[in-house]
Structure formats: structure tokens, C-alpha cells
Chain A
Amino acid sequence: MPLTSEEGSRKSTADPMCPQPFRVESVSRETHDTFTLNLQPAGNAERPPFSPGQFSMLYVFGVGELPISISGDPEQARRLAYTVRSVGPATQALVSLRPGDWVGVRGPYGKPWPLQAGRGKDVLIVAGGIGLAPLRPAIFHVLRNRDDYVRLIVLYGARSPGDLLFRKELNAWGRSPDTQVLTTVDYGGVNWRGRVGVVTTLFRHLRLHPDRTVVLVCGPEIMMNYVVAELEQHRGVSAADIYLSMERNMKCAVGFCGHCQYGPYFICRDGPVFSYQQVRGLMGKHEL
């Protein structure tokens, strides 16, 4: 699969604020509040290529537009998949769409996960909650290009068993060769036989090779703060090998609206994926 790691250096001339027409192919329920939308370009148009970690702006007729990470398989040529948690009016409208409904799509935008940098190394994926969605295309990529990578390790934490996304896939991935999948929840409930605790408690079950591991992290900022601290201070992973997907308010995705500023960066233009080296001076700064 071609990886466009230099997504950012190209200059686009088309109207970047004009969405392209897509149709809803299907909406599948992942959890009580999270749904995956499969979208196809209207007519017979090709879907735009994307790299794992990139996002699109999804526009619901008359309601609004949202930045949503692509959660599907990069090799699935016909459709784009987006996993959305319904938390407000716009996301509610998005997950309420029916097959055949019209959706406007802009993008994909942003810097992808550095999957080239992980070649010949172990890939450690650390996800929290809906943060697994933007990492899922990277997992698909590693599994499809298994010989390019050594071990694949997925650490995934969610609030409760009912909040765990892609449970069937997690089980299937865990049965793949050289792949380890560990999940944990904050609150287990009486029927839960799995692990309970924050995602960093999963590190004790791992034998990491810090000299040949690339780490991809996405989740709530507070979780990412603890993950990078654990990796750097207790697991000996260098900051240059840790990559994080950051989130800020975003209105345009093309560097005009100013909302997604994060210190010297625009999340849409310079991220959402950053190396920990780029953002270590910013993470944990209150109200930056």
C-alpha cells in the first residue's frame, strides 16, 4: 500500500471548503453510543485514497460538519468507514443517518501514522475509548503487511465492558501470529472476567524491546500523558519512537479557522499525529 507520509507538502488548488457528495452504505452499531458509518462516493466516483491516522470533515445536511478519523481498512477501495460516538446534536445527526442518505465529505486531511518508521520493528498500539478508531486502519495495515513488521501489540482500555469497541476484531487480531491484544476497563461489573484498571496497568504484562519498538497512541489527553510517562520513564522507549494523535476544536481542517491551535502547531495542518518529541513541551500544560 502506498503510504503518503508527506501528505502535508502538497498544495491544493480546489475549493477546500466544498464537500464532495457521498452516500451512506450502512450504519452499524458498535456500542450503546458508538456507530460505524460506511460511506461511498455518490455516482461512480472513486473514493479518495487515505493513510491510516487521517481524518475527514463529515457534513450532515443543514446540521453541521465534524472532524472524524477514518476507521476503516485502507485497502477497502470502495468505501470510507468512520466510527462516531454520539455526544451532541451533530454527532447524533450523523449516527442517525440511514443507508442511501447523503453526506458531504471533505478530505482526507492531516499527517498519518508513521507506518514506514515502524518497518522491521515491533508496533505497539495504545488506545483509550474511541481512540481505537483512528488506530484501526494502522492495525489493518500491519496485519496486511505482516512481514514488514515484527510483533504487533494492542493495548486497549475503555470505561466499561459495554464501551469496548470492535470486540470481535480484537479477539481475531489476538489470534493472529506474533500479535498480542490486551484489554482493560475502568469499571468491570459483575459479569466481567477481564482486566480492570487504567490502560497503563497493561504494561506489566509486556516484554518491550525499547530499541526496536514504535508506539502509536490515541485516547483522552490525560490517558496519553500517563502512557508517555510510563513508556519513557519506566519502559525506556525514546520520545522519538512515540507518536500521538491529538485533538482540538476544528472548523475548517485546512489551516484557516485558527481553532485547532496547539502551541506553535495547527492540529489539522501539522497533526493530528505528532511525534512525542514535537509535543512533549506542550503536553500537560494546563489550558494551553
Chain B
Amino acid sequence: MQNSAGPVPRAVVTLEGLRRLIPLLERRGYQVAGPTVRDGAIVYETLKKLEDLPAGWTDEQEAGRYRLKQREDAALFGYNVGPQSWKKFLHPSTIELIHIERNGEGVRVLNQSSPPPHYAFLGVRACELAAIRVQDRVLLEDRFADPVYASRRRGVFMVAVQCTRAAPTCFCASMQCGPRARQDFDLALTEIADKGRHLFVVEAGSAAGAEILREMDPREASPALCQEADEAVERAAVQTRQMDTAGIRDLLYQNFEHPRWDHVAARCLTCANCTMVCPTCFCTVVEDVSDVTGSHAERWRRWDSCFTQAFSYIHGGSVRPSVKSRYRQWMTHKLASWIDQFGSSGCVGCGRCITWCPAGIDITEEVRAIRGGSATSSRAL
């Protein structure tokens, strides 16, 4: 995946042209993953055909609320992000790290698991591209590279989708992560589904993307159509939720004892939903298992959450027994210490933690309260 400099000529592709995309990727050896409807939500699964996409569906999101609803058109991408993110594929929730065989005197440690598929991600939003870049910095570009992440991440074919609507929980514009995907994709689609039209304005971000685009029966996109597509994305930049990130690192460091932490602790259930749905949360724990004969042992890694008491356990007890300290750790890490650790914020403004919090806790509102702007607001209560 590479990015060419300068303006890229954009093409327009019909629904029939787009129908070729999944077979074209499969022929090149990719396993295509993208959004589909399951259990009343839009989740990311392996896609076999265009019909697997959530055509005609949209979502309604608010703090602590997510509902699917039928659209009046047959748009394929007429919704925002759901409970899952691409970390499901790149940083799997459970994975075997090593297994160890013991027989007689010999012990063998094996860490070669079967090679992961070559993924093509279809329908990656700008905030999600930003989230993948954040996880790259943690799991690839720091002192050590995580072999699990590295083997999955390498050579992913990215098909971005430009958002033309923002959910009420979206605040990517505040985090400067969207709504427009500008880089790190092979293809970027802007869907136009109205007035009897169903078209996709397509931008190639790499040579591999351009090659595939040529086989999707592209026509040149007129300046008027390009402008229409751009304006649709600009409309998604108008977002009701916002976060003022000016000086946010020092703001949180300096407010370690702010009374708002008690206020949020009274609402937080420490259920860890926010960390599970967050596309950048990377924390894991390991579990060791052995069989009854004692000849075979395995180490498994699974997602962990700083909202559990066990997370900070050392001999003598948990470092963060209180709910207050755990919420404070999560939010301070995400928005402040992440900057010291990895050179960027850990938040991309996708809004998942707001939507999927059963108590409707809103990270943007918590920041505002700590700034002192609306400490008494309790919309989420």
C-alpha cells in the first residue's frame, strides 16, 4: 500500500462494477472482510459477495443506544461504525502464542501457528484507518514488534469508505481523524445513492488499487460528481459531539484529583465494554493451560481491560481497587499518557465507547466536565 502525492483522478463505478470487487480481490488471494448484519448490529465478517453487505440498513446511535433501521434506499454503506473494529482481525481477541510439548527428557517450544490469511478490508472508515495507524505505533513500531499483529497487518488491502453521514456519537473531526480518508488506503469509495442513482466515486491510493479499479469498468468522474461527493463528506464533518483537545495531556495530568472522577465512578459499571469496542485499546493478558497428562501446555493471549481489578494486581492487592481509579486510568491513558508513550492520542473519535457504554458515559462530556465547562451537566445520568 502506498500513497501517491498530488490530486488523484477519480473514477465513477456503478453497482455492477463494484460487484466485481470481491471476486477481483479473492482472485488475488485476499480474504475479504467487511460489514454485514448479524444479531441486530453491523459487524465485520468474511464477505463472499456484495449481497453480504448491509444494503438498505442504517444505524441509530446515541450514548448507550444502538439500533438498526431500514433506509429508504439500498445504500451499501449508509451507516457508521458498529461494535466491532478491524482489530478483530489484526489483534485477535484470543490467540495461542506458543505450545510446549514435554516427553521424557525433552521439551519443545513451538510458536509457529498457521499463517494468517491475506486480508482485504472492505468498508474501512477514516477513523478506523487512524485507529490502525495508532495500533501500528504500539504493536509494530515500538521497541518490539508483536509477531501476531505484524503477520496479519502486512499487506492488508484497504478499501476505505468515505462517511457521508455522522452518527450523533461521532467526533472524528475533533480528533482530526476524519471524516475524509486521505491516505493509507488502496481504494476509497464515496457512495452516492439517491434520485434513482447508485454510484461510487472511487479514488485509487496505490498502484495495486489502481490496477483493481481498472477492472471495475470505471468511467471518468465528472467534476460536478466529484464535487457532489466531496460535499457529502463535508456534511459528515458537521458533528454534534466534539472534544476540545487543546492541552488535553496536561489537563488530565493536572486533574488527577478532580471531583468529576467520583461523579463518573458513580455511573461506571466497570463492564469493560468501552475497552472491548475501542479500536485502539490493545491490552492483553495471558492464560496458561496444560493437559491432564502434563505433556502438553499452551499459552493463550486474550484481550484484557484496565477496568478489571485483576489488571493491576501485584502481590498484596490491586493497585487500582476503586472504580474511580480505573476509569481515570483508562481515560487518562487514552487521551494523555498515550501521547507520551506513542506520540499520538489513543482516541480517534469513533464514538464506540459512548454508544456501547450501558450507562451512556460519554468521554467527550467527561473531558468537558474536567475542563470545568459543564461540570453539572448529567445528560448521561
Interface residues of A (CB under 8 A from B): 8, 10-13, 15-19, 21, 42, 59, 61-65, 87-88, 102, 104, 247-249, 251-252, 254-259, 261, 263-266, 269, 285-288
Please state if A64 and B107 are interface contacts (CB–CB under 8 Å).
no
List chain B residues, Cβ under 8 A from A19.
98, 109
Q: What 17 additional pairs, Cβ within 8 angstroms, besides A61-B290, A251-B285, A287-B321?
A: A12-B144, A15-B147, A17-B98, A61-B102, A62-B100, A65-B288, A102-B107, A104-B100, A104-B109, A254-B143, A255-B138, A256-B138, A257-B284, A258-B282, A258-B283, A259-B285, A287-B319
Stretch at the interface among B62-70, B73-81, B306-314, B367-375: B306-314
Tell me the complex Cα distance, A87–B49, Å.
Answer: 56
List chain B residues, Cβ under 8 A from A259.
283, 285, 304, 311-312
Top-6 shortest CB links A-B: A62-B290, A258-B283, A287-B325, A264-B340, A62-B297, A254-B144
| Contact status of A269 and B314, CB under 8 A, knowing A251-B286, A261-B333, A287-B325 | no
Is the contact region of chain A dominated by helix, strand, or loop, or is it mixed? loop
Tell me the complex Cα distance, A245–B117, Å.
Answer: 42
Q: List 22 A-B contacts (CB under 8 A).
A: A10-B143, A13-B145, A16-B144, A18-B97, A19-B98, A19-B109, A21-B109, A61-B297, A62-B289, A62-B297, A65-B288, A87-B315, A88-B315, A102-B102, A249-B314, A252-B286, A256-B144, A256-B146, A257-B283, A258-B306, A264-B337, A287-B319
Tell me the complex Cα distance, A259–B310, Å.
Answer: 10
| Contact status of A255 and B329, CB under 8 A, knowing A18-B98, A263-B337, A285-B256 | no
Q: Does residue B3 face the partner (Cβ distance < 8 Å to A)?
A: no
List chain B residues, Cβ under 8 A from A264.
336-337, 340-341
In the complex, how many angstroms separate the beta carbon of B40 from the nearest chain A beta carbon? 31
Which residues of B307-347 are within 8 A (CB) of A? 311-315, 319-322, 324-325, 328-329, 333, 336-337, 340-341
Please state if A17 and B111 are interface contacts (CB–CB under 8 Å).
yes
Tell me the complex Cα distance, A266–B138, Å.
Answer: 12
Q: Does residue B294 face the partner (Cβ distance < 8 Å to A)?
A: yes
Q: Does residue B251 face the partner (Cβ distance < 8 Å to A)?
A: no
Q: Does residue B193 face the partner (Cβ distance < 8 Å to A)?
A: no
